[in-house]
Amino acid sequence: MMINGHRVAIVGATGAVGQELLTVLQERSFPVAELKLLASARSEGKKITFCGEELTVTEAKPSSFKNVDIAFFAGGPVSKELVPEAVKEGAVAIDNSSAFRLDPDVPLVVPEVNPDDVEKHRGIIANPNCSTTIFVVPLKPLHDAARVKRAVVTTMQAVSGAGKEAIDELLLQTKQVLAGEDVQQPKVFQHQIAFNLIPHIDVFGDNNYSREEMKLLNETRKILHDPEIQITATTVRVPVLRSHSESVNIETEKELTAEEARNILNNAPGVVVQDEPKNMEYPMPLFTSYRDEVFVGRIRKDYSQKNALNLWVVSDQLRKGAATNAVQIAEILHRRSLL
């Protein structure tokens, strides 16, 4: 802990994103003077080590946020109740749930894309959906260069995006299939996920798009400050433990060659270009896990449409898609003395 640091709380500290937040705060040496680990009542009393100090998890309550400067919310329905309570106590809440993302008074921030939006906060800053964050980091520099009019996105999302129980379900089902046993009835996913793909993430709306698919449209428009950009998405759960992948097709107003796009992305913050298909170099979930960058490859012209390009985008959704993005937001608040 740092003497001149901030008083920090993590709500959901025992979950997948909460654990990742602890790791990222330590790795990036964020100035923490005091840390409160909060979770549901069933996790109260658990011990977690942070920077060599053993801390005890306590139940998250409205009274938990006294003398807290920054409250990280790792996601879930508890945000609707407790984020306003944290703000009442004077904390800045960085929320990873969907509760406030489309609220016009709440900035929705990806630091490589719209860092200045943090200046508009009224106590709450929303972290985008993981697939949106991974999408907009490489989209923004291309949008700035040639204005993206339309994008078609197909996501291939790792099971860890649905939490630890989802990881356990994939591992158990895989063992059962390989042992020739009957696969138990799924508890987390709608169908067996082992050796399968499920084109269904979150609930379906009346338009037959899932809420996960609509997030890509609505959140991207807000982050880019462009309500006219057109986006259609299909989101798919795949039997991968970690790191989301996205097949992205964009159509731009100005012509942009594949080489120009490659050069732009090579100089974009938070982006790593891996694009040598002849040498079998392209982004893959296995090698992007536990990294903070967004990896882009397979950059090529789409010959079926004027001014169109194809991209393959991969990033660790627990890191850049959630925890790292939240800590980067906190770093901006710290640098700009907004706490």
Active site residues: 130, 244
Q: Determine the Cα–Cα distance for residues 191 and 194; give it in Å rounded to an integer.
A: 9
- Give the Cα separation of 82 and 63 in Å (integer): 9
* DSSP three-state, residue 144: helix
Tell me if 9 sits within 8 A of 36, measured CB to CB: yes
Query: What residues pair up with 73 in beta bridges, in sequence order?
Result: 11, 95
Distance set, CA 216 to CA 49, 102, 170, 254 (Å): 36, 12, 25, 23
Instruction: Report the Cα–Cα distance between both ends of the chain, in Å, rounded.
Output: 18
> Strand 6-11's sheet: what is its strand order?
58-59, 32-39, 6-11, 70-73, 92-95, 124-126
